[in-house]
Structure 1
Amino acid sequence: MVKLADGLSREALDRLMNALKLAGIHELNELQKRAFKVILEGKDTLIVAPTGSGKTESAIIPIFYRMLLGEYEGIFLLYITPLKALNRDMLRRISTLAKELEISIAVRHGDTLSSERRKQSLRPPQVLITTPETLQILFQGRKLRKALKNVHYVVIDEIHEIADSERGVQLSIALERLREIASFTTIGLSATTKESISRLISENAVVIKDIRKKDYSFRVIQPEVIEDDKKISERLSIPQEISADLRTIKEIIEEHGSGLIFVNTRQTAEALGLRLKQIMDVEVHHGSLSREARLEAERKFMEGELKALICTSSMELGIDIGHVDVVIQYNSPREVTRLIQRVGRAGHSMERTSRGYILANSFDEIMESWIIAERALKGEIEDLTMHFNSLDVLANQISALALEYRDIDVAKAYEIIRRAYPYRNLEFDDFVKICEFLAEGHLIFFDGERISAKRKARRYFYDNISMIPDEKSYTVVDITTGRKIGKIDESFLSTFTGEVFAIKGELWRVLAVNDVVKVEPVVSEGEIPSWVGEEIPVPFEVAVEVGRLRRVIADRIRNTQDAKDYLLSRFETNEKAAETVIRTIKEHVEQKFEVPSDKVVTIEGGENTAVINACFGHKVNETLGRIIALLLTARKGRNVSIEIDPYRIKLTPASCEEVRDILLNLRREGVEELAERALLDTKLLQWKVIHSARKFGYLSKNFDLSRVNLSRLVVRLRDTPIYREAVREIFLEKMDIERSKEIIERLGKDLKIVVYNKLSPISLASREHSFDLLKPKKPLYLLLDIFKKRLENEVTVIHCINCGYTIRTPIRLIDRPECPRCKSGMIAAFNARRKLDEIPKRELYRIANLVLSHGKRAIIAMNTHGVGVENAARILSKYYRSEDDFYLELMEAERRYIRTRGFWD
């Protein structure tokens, strides 16, 4: 298995080999043999290999061998994973081997019982599996910090998952803090990543890539509608195209045996789950579900009770769920890395081909999927966008050092942090400014030379260990029924700018937001959500390639060459998908439009709207769109709204000429300043400032956002590190300043601009039809029926003006509006939530007169939310052709009230 080399112990090696055989490993593969040698030489290492290649064992086997050579106290191996679920998985995978070698092993994370923590502190395991966040806590415990001094190896599993986030930044500093007390070798493991990630491990890390070729098969299909789909469509009241999707998914799973169905958002997961469950056995798995629900779904799949699992990105990581035969990606995966990660879950070994199908239905989705699949086969994965000089992580780690050392020299603290790769260019003056800011907030003591922790520091540190934002959730209430339909996160409310959104497989329109979110079902056909969850951004390179492909197809159509044969020979796809793309581009060419591509930008107008067709991806289009909207708003003196996708920027109100003039007059020098100005007064910046303020300890973890004017808060913090950090994060995660500058320089030169005063077929091509998965919209008569029933069940108070008799009763039980005691018709009726002694006598007389004149209708009106005596009088004075018209008027009055008043008493 492994040849004896200088310094290798035959006894230890034999013992290891026997344990490996018992664990089911009879021979090391080439990757494991290469890693064995490099790791034993004590070199920091990055192992890059596909899922199923045995890369975990590549790291573990040489470390376990080293452990057999001597007696070691404390924690010998620190194994770090990005998810608690992976902690459980790792424990299961290496427990057998550890047990055979008499190596103690334990897991520690946020859910670890206090009794188990005490046990670990008193007698630390030789192998501790943990998360980046829990590692932060280990430095604070006296006994565990002592145990960390014996760490010889640190393994970071799925390193790509945290490398481009602030969790990765936090971990990189934690490793430098660990180097202050221990001498260790760092090993990173990743299925798909650029080699540049090795610098997070160390400047001189050795990169070991699996030389074996992993075979992938990607097929992009647009399902064709057949006779069976029409029946499913009628039964489930959904479009026939969606029926075809559901049938195709079921057929692929049945053909291959077992499969994962990946989607891009939790909303799509829920909606697809709702539909698929009606024709096959399937479960949903995503981060918003309870841990118990996720574990149960994993167990069922692993034990074969379930053949299919609908999942989001949480299942991309190497959680062991048993054998997967095929992966289905519903709509474009958006990124090459995601496609490889996801499809890599199928055929979980190097010897088997990983098979993946992408189901795409729209013009954009199909072309994007072709390009991503092609780039995946070539191994052209995206660069990571690392966070450099993150100020909120810096503040967090300065306080952590102050707590760990009680008192630390400023120069020493700076030196530790600057060794971390993301802070290698951090200026000392910038470091000092953060220290001063923390001192002003009474979190640390800082005199220019020493840093020490103040009383508030410990609470601040523990509240902000996680770099993932802590969020409150808000209950969503359907006003037509009064029932609770779910919860939405604080970040949704902070960034939501539209009206319609999806939850629990249905579309809802937001009417008001207070302590709860009031909504109504969407009734009108054709409405799509203006918020659909956190979309994965399509990279610049992918969007440009889509543009290039558009140009190639258009040229073939103009030159009467066979475009379909070209597409079917270049991509693994079906005829229906090729025909959909060709039809759209052919219509475009026949209508004498230039095709927007990698070399052409078109600006098209219609009904006070301008659409810029630009194949630059989400981040560049976001940058350009916000800048143009800002300048148009300044020019017009009224707000200009924007909608962005990877290939279009839609501006309203705007004319094509105005947009062209602004584009051609932009200069690269002003892009950054304009982009920042465009963020002011946006919910995106407000949310980021709130998140940043919490991370700096300026706002408490549980601060109630309803108590503060968010716009004023942003202005107040404009000259602080909090604001600078919020802008930095948006520029990195949502925008692309540098590429936008390059595009601006090319406009009108090698990047042609063409203007049309009408919209082209490509402008009007919809991106996806996921929303057709949602339940059929409730027809108006159905909503009206629900509304009537709710009012009939409202409890009203009947107060007799004549004799003073008062009774509470549901409206449905009222037959004749009169006093039960004296039979007088002068009765005041009002909702039971109001108190009699708080209603003025004059108002009671007015209500009684309305009841006397209009009977039960007046009682119903007075029990409709937001309809007071004035409104009731106006509504009751109208002529209605039918009872339904009367109720429609009440429904509209209630909606108006909720929209304008912003509360529901």
Structure 2
Amino acid sequence: MLSQQVLEALKHAGIEKLSRLQEEAAKRVLEGRNLLIIAPTGSGKTEAAITPILQRMVEERPEGIALVYITPLRALNRDMLRRLKAIAEELGFKIAVRHGDTSQSERSKQSRKPPHILVTTPETLQILFLGKNLRNALKNVRYVVVDEVHELADSERGIQLSVALERLRELARFQTIGLSATVSNPKRIAAFLGRNVEVIEGGEEKLYQYEVVKPEVCEEDSKLAEELFVDAEIAAQLRLIREIAEKHTSALIFVNTRQTAEALGLKLKKLLSVEVHHGSLSKEARIESENRFARGDLKALICTSSMELGIDIGHVDVVIQYNSPRQVSRLIQRVGRSGHKAGKVSKGCIIASSFDEILESWVIVKRAEEGLIEDETMHVMSLDTLANQIAAIALEYGRIRAEKVYSIIRRAYPYRGLSYEKFVEICEFLADGNVIAFDGEEIAPLRKTRRYFYDNISMIPDEKHYRVVDITTGKTIGVLDESFLSTFSGEVFAMKGELWRVVSVDDVVKVEPVAKEGDIPSWAGEEIPVPYEVAQDVGLLRLWIANMLRNEGREETIKALMEKFRTNRAACLEVFDVIEEHIKNFEVSSDRHITIESSGGVAIINACFGHRVNEALGRIVAMLLSARRGSNVAVEIDPYRIKLSPARAEEVKEVLLSIDSDAVEWLAERALIDTKLLQWKVINAARKFGYLSKDADLSRMNLRNLVLRLKDTPIYSEAVREIFVERFDVERVKEIVSKLGSEIGISVYGSLSPISLVPRQQAFDLLMPSKPTEAILAVFRRRLDEEFCILHCLNCGCTIRERVGSIDEVRCIRCGSKLVACVNARRSIEEFKKEELFRIANLVMSYGKKAVYAMNTHGVGAENAARILARFYPSERDFFLELLEAEKRYIRTRKFWD
């Protein structure tokens, strides 16, 4: 099928022969068919698509852009460029990458002389339609490859892409080829790509090797805990990560949130040559980490989903997943990064230490081995994406009939059910906001249209970002979200696994490197939701373990679990300790049984239904309880618990049994009114519709009034629709409430069970020890002694800077007065009101050096210090323990930890 020229180019890139999958794909592509190629990671899907396309291009010798290669991640773009460049250039084709990181000079060059192959993202594809030269170049497109299509299909980015493909079909006739890892519903993914798309599943069977490990604490860990200022259990996890990485060539360490990546990086950098990689770091920082890792300069890379997709980093021979990966698809994708070649074993080790994390990891490993991947939740009829695309098409054509726009959009799979009436309603709403001109028959752009389009080109919910610049090098290291800066009251934070002191905040945040404790920034929309199917299996496994422990005893159960889940004894014992204690007095909450427990005004529904069901159900129950009580009932959820306060178990049961399944959708929407979740979604939808500008100052708005004002508009409808897709599983809640008390059993208790009380690990746990040892208290005290403070005499105004540890008696060196205020040198005296300085000086005069220590503890102000100092402490140890607890409380309750 392939010419000698193409075969030689493949050899030049290190490909000696095609696999069976690649041969089958080549045959069908050369026949002109549209394809979805589904195969495990590392099985050569890229080459399966590209090889026959290059053969056709060699025969056709096209002008302009013949192949558009679309990927969801910028890092993946860079990787594709590296991989394809060798083959393409050998055949005489120009290849270029274009995305948000591409320089202006490179963009201009591409516009003047378009490449034959363009590697891009869904967002950047939108822009290509608007440039005169590039739009003309798109008329030559004969092939479109969409890589990692499963990653796009379940998001609004995917909807935007599906419409863009239909717009491209207006300009050119092309073959579509989608590349995907294993998915649960191949037909739906194929339909998403376009019409008449055939599915090929195959590739050599990918071998995966998983294990789930809870590190056992050894003597070395206690010493390490002191050095790193963490719990011995956390030290054991860090030691195990180091040991695994050192036994292999190189490792990817996956975490679920950027906060955890930064916290882990901060500690692990003291043990291992490692860097942090995530989407909020700058392009330069990400590329530098990728290159250092590819060269072998780093032993490991700590990453989030930023390195999850098909980036060819072939020397990785182990993946470490820190805590449960939450989803089967994530585990397969992430572990597949190791042994990223056909025939090689992909090795993955999940390090899990808590009850939920271990059970969840066991279940996910088992489901992965059985090929049970969770369903993709696909966005359908997204109204803000529809608005975005109407404006984009208006800009592209200048003036166009509304019916024509409707026919283009309706061809896209997510809009196959769009009525003309709904389409016209959105056009009229946009026209009312002067986003477009619409006279009932034609659509045209206005002055505002272009600005609106560029402001909203990304369908990822946006908030204001601030660039972070290192003043010592002038380099941009990343971005901070508006929400972090608005709540950050310190001056030191972590980014790129390093600590930085804020020098100034303006349009950019200027920082300098520093070596001391700091805060971890927050980034919105982070936590990966645990699916219903996984949570149900966790419930089933809880019950199975409880029955095994009752009937077979500990040793037999350990043996069975170690064999079944390739786990270690310590992980089994962590789970057993909770379940053995639990079954003494409580039923086990499982896939078919919930328990409702209460104590001290707190009620917990133990329900193994996953994040989306528990969030919808929890908010409905909290709303109904609030209505009954006449006062607000707070709700917190995780995949296995709904916590309500104040509440009693019996009243929670009554409320649950009173819910009519037919009313669930209305109740779920009603429960959203006045929530931050709905307000945030309405703000984002309002921006996407052009109702609010991107730079609108939210602090000056009454957000509740904004929501109420937009109640009967497409903006509000879109906000609710998004929540129902991403956060609430309304259909399953309907099903569950109809089965409560019959197929789903309920037990009620007047106390909280061991399963209710087990916590999940957070990034915070990596930063501060939960059970301080003598050694950790000594480290804490040494840190306080090293702090600089300012001593300010309120009698003569003399001000000096001194280390806390060098202060014996607090007295003014100029006038001898004891009326001296002590504040941490991170703040200046000018920041304090006179009354507060007098209050601090009185505390120092009354309590001496103890007051100096209190005022130099993070998060302890004059009021908090007065409370701490007024207590009686049997020993000095107890005093420092209280200061450490105060600092931990401060960090825990900071808004960005929410």
Work out whether residues 252 and 301 of structure 2, in 8 Å CA contact, stay in contact via their aligned partners in 1: yes
**Counterpart check, 1:297 vs 2:262:** no
Q: Look up the match of 1:358.
A: 350
Work out whether residues 258 and 326 of structure 1, in 8 Å CA contact, stay in contact via their aligned partners in 2: yes
User: CA 1:209–1:769 in structure 2 vs 1: closer, same or farther (change >3 Å)?
Assistant: same
Work out whether residues 788 and 801 of structure 2, in 8 Å CA contact, stay in contact via their aligned partners in 1: no
**Pick from 259, 272, 275: which aligns with 1:283?**
275
**Counterpart check, 1:685 vs 2:678:** yes
User: Cα distance, 1:324 vs. partner?
Assistant: 0.6
Q: Look up the match of 1:883.
A: 848
**Pick from 710, 717, 721: which aligns with 1:728?**
721
**Pick from 605, 614, 623: which aligns with 1:621?**
614
User: Cα distance, 1:894 vs. partner?
Assistant: 6.4
Q: Distance in 1 between matches of 2:749 and 2:589?
A: 12
**Counterpart check, 1:63 vs 2:53:** yes
Work out whether residues 866 and 893 of structure 1, in 8 Å CA contact, stay in contact via their aligned partners in 2: no
- Structure 2 gap segments, 5+ residues each: 469-476, 500-504, 510-518, 771-775, 803-809, 867-889
Identity across aligned pairs (percent)? 58
**Counterpart check, 1:199 vs 2:191:** yes
User: CA 1:753–1:170 in structure 2 vs 1: closer, same or farther (change >3 Å)?
Assistant: same
Please report the RMSD computed on the Cα atoms of aligned residues, expressed in angstroms. 3.7
Work out whether residues 661 and 737 of structure 2, in 8 Å CA contact, stay in contact via their aligned partners in 1: yes
Of the structure 1 ranges 302-311 and 392-401, higher mean CA displacement relative to structure 2 is found in 302-311
**Pick from 123, 139, 151: which aligns with 1:149?**
139
- In structure 2, what residue type is equivalent to 1:359? I
**Pick from 663, 667, 676: which aligns with 1:674?**
667
User: CA 1:330–1:449 in structure 2 vs 1: closer, same or farther (change >3 Å)?
Assistant: same
With structure 1 as the length reference, what TM-score do the two structures score?
Answer: 0.84
Work out whether residues 611 and 639 of structure 2, in 8 Å CA contact, stay in contact via their aligned partners in 1: yes
User: CA 1:174–1:885 in structure 2 vs 1: closer, same or farther (change >3 Å)?
Assistant: same
Work out whether residues 535 and 608 of structure 2, in 8 Å CA contact, stay in contact via their aligned partners in 1: yes
**Counterpart check, 1:263 vs 2:250:** no
User: CA 1:532–1:593 in structure 2 vs 1: closer, same or farther (change >3 Å)?
Assistant: farther
**Pick from 401, 406, 409: which aligns with 1:417?**
409
Q: Distance in 1 between matches of 2:704 and 2:823?
A: 43
- In structure 1, what residue type is equivalent to 2:236? A
Q: Distance in 1 between matches of 2:524 and 2:455?
A: 30
**Counterpart check, 1:576 vs 2:576:** no
Q: Look up the match of 2:384.
A: 392
Q: Distance in 1 between matches of 2:19 and 2:784?
A: 68
User: Cα distance, 1:158 vs. partner?
Assistant: 1.3
Q: Distance in 2 between matches of 1:795 and 1:78?
A: 70
Work out whether residues 104 and 125 of structure 1, in 8 Å CA contact, stay in contact via their aligned partners in 2: yes
Of the structure 1 ranges 386-395 and 189-198, higher mean CA displacement relative to structure 2 is found in 189-198
Work out whether residues 480 and 523 of structure 2, in 8 Å CA contact, stay in contact via their aligned partners in 1: no
Secondary structure of the residue aligned to 1:284 is strand
Q: Look up the match of 1:707.
A: 700
Work out whether residues 79 and 127 of structure 1, in 8 Å CA contact, stay in contact via their aligned partners in 2: yes
**Pick from 751, 755, 760: which aligns with 2:753?**
760
- In structure 2, what residue type is equivalent to 1:773? L
Q: Deviations over 1:167-202 (max 9, x none)?
A: 100000000011111111111111232302111112
Q: Distance in 2 between matches of 1:638 and 1:268?
A: 36
User: Cα distance, 1:811 vs. partner?
Assistant: 8.4
User: Cα distance, 1:217 vs. partner?
Assistant: 0.6
User: Cα distance, 1:681 vs. partner?
Assistant: 1.6
Q: Distance in 2 between matches of 1:32 and 1:345?
A: 20
Q: Distance in 2 between matches of 1:475 and 1:641?
A: 36
User: Cα distance, 1:633 vs. partner?
Assistant: 1.5
Q: Look up the match of 2:363.
A: 371
- In structure 2, what residue type is equivalent to 1:882? Y
Of the structure 1 ranges 319-328 and 147-156, higher mean CA displacement relative to structure 2 is found in 319-328
**What pairs with 1:202-213 in structure 2 (closer than 5 Å)?**
202-213=194-205
Q: Look up the match of 1:139.
A: 129
Secondary structure of the residue aligned to 1:731 is helix
User: Cα distance, 1:260 vs. partner?
Assistant: 0.9
Q: Distance in 1 between matches of 2:680 and 2:77?
A: 31
Q: Distance in 1 between matches of 2:439 and 2:781?
A: 69
Q: Distance in 2 between matches of 1:328 and 1:230?
A: 23
Secondary structure of the residue aligned to 1:107 is strand
User: CA 1:796–1:448 in structure 2 vs 1: closer, same or farther (change >3 Å)?
Assistant: farther
Q: Deviations over 1:53-96 (max 9, x none)?
A: 11101111111111122242221111111122222211111112
Q: Look up the match of 1:649.
A: 642
**Counterpart check, 1:637 vs 2:630:** yes
Q: Distance in 1 between matches of 2:8 and 2:448?
A: 53
Q: Distance in 2 between matches of 1:893 and 1:52?
A: 59
Q: Deviations over 1:384-442 (max 9, x none)?
A: 11111111111010011111111111111111101000000111111111101110011
Work out whether residues 265 and 532 of structure 1, in 8 Å CA contact, stay in contact via their aligned partners in 2: no
Work out whether residues 598 and 648 of structure 2, in 8 Å CA contact, stay in contact via their aligned partners in 1: yes
**Counterpart check, 1:74 vs 2:102:** no
Work out whether residues 668 and 745 of structure 1, in 8 Å CA contact, stay in contact via their aligned partners in 2: yes
User: Cα distance, 1:254 vs. partner?
Assistant: 2.2
Q: Distance in 1 between matches of 2:227 and 2:366?
A: 38
Secondary structure of the residue aligned to 1:534 is coil
**Counterpart check, 1:453 vs 2:445:** yes
User: CA 1:183–1:881 in structure 2 vs 1: closer, same or farther (change >3 Å)?
Assistant: same
User: CA 1:565–1:114 in structure 2 vs 1: closer, same or farther (change >3 Å)?
Assistant: closer
User: Cα distance, 1:493 vs. partner?
Assistant: 8.5
Q: Distance in 2 between matches of 1:795 and 1:120?
A: 66
Work out whether residues 796 and 863 of structure 1, in 8 Å CA contact, stay in contact via their aligned partners in 2: no
User: CA 1:655–1:76 in structure 2 vs 1: closer, same or farther (change >3 Å)?
Assistant: same
User: Cα distance, 1:797 vs. partner?
Assistant: 11
With structure 2 as the length reference, what TM-score do the two structures score?
Answer: 0.85
Q: Distance in 1 between matches of 2:412 and 2:594?
A: 42
Q: Deviations over 1:633-661 (max 9, x none)?
A: 22222221111111011111111111111
**Counterpart check, 1:244 vs 2:209:** no
- In structure 2, what residue type is equivalent to 1:106? A
- In structure 2, what residue type is equivalent to 1:414? Y
Of the structure 1 ranges 769-778 and 25-34, higher mean CA displacement relative to structure 2 is found in 769-778
Q: Deviations over 1:830-857 (max 9, x none)?
A: xxxxxxxxxxxxxxxxxxxxx9xx8445
Q: Look up the match of 1:543.
A: 535
**Counterpart check, 1:177 vs 2:164:** no
Q: Look up the match of 2:158.
A: 168
Tell which structure's C-alpha radius of gyration is larger.
1
User: CA 1:772–1:871 in structure 2 vs 1: closer, same or farther (change >3 Å)?
Assistant: closer
User: CA 1:474–1:531 in structure 2 vs 1: closer, same or farther (change >3 Å)?
Assistant: closer
**What pairs with 1:549-628 in structure 2 (closer than 5 Å)?**
549-560=541-552, 562-590=556-584, 592-628=585-621
Q: Look up the match of 1:98.
A: 88
Q: Distance in 2 between matches of 1:543 and 1:373?
A: 13
Q: Distance in 2 between matches of 1:234 and 1:384?
A: 44
Work out whether residues 258 and 308 of structure 1, in 8 Å CA contact, stay in contact via their aligned partners in 2: yes
User: CA 1:486–1:461 in structure 2 vs 1: closer, same or farther (change >3 Å)?
Assistant: closer
User: Cα distance, 1:880 vs. partner?
Assistant: 6.2
Q: Distance in 2 between matches of 1:566 and 1:636?
A: 48
Q: Look up the match of 1:468.
A: 460
Secondary structure of the residue aligned to 1:180 is helix
Task: Report how many residues are paired.
Answer: 824
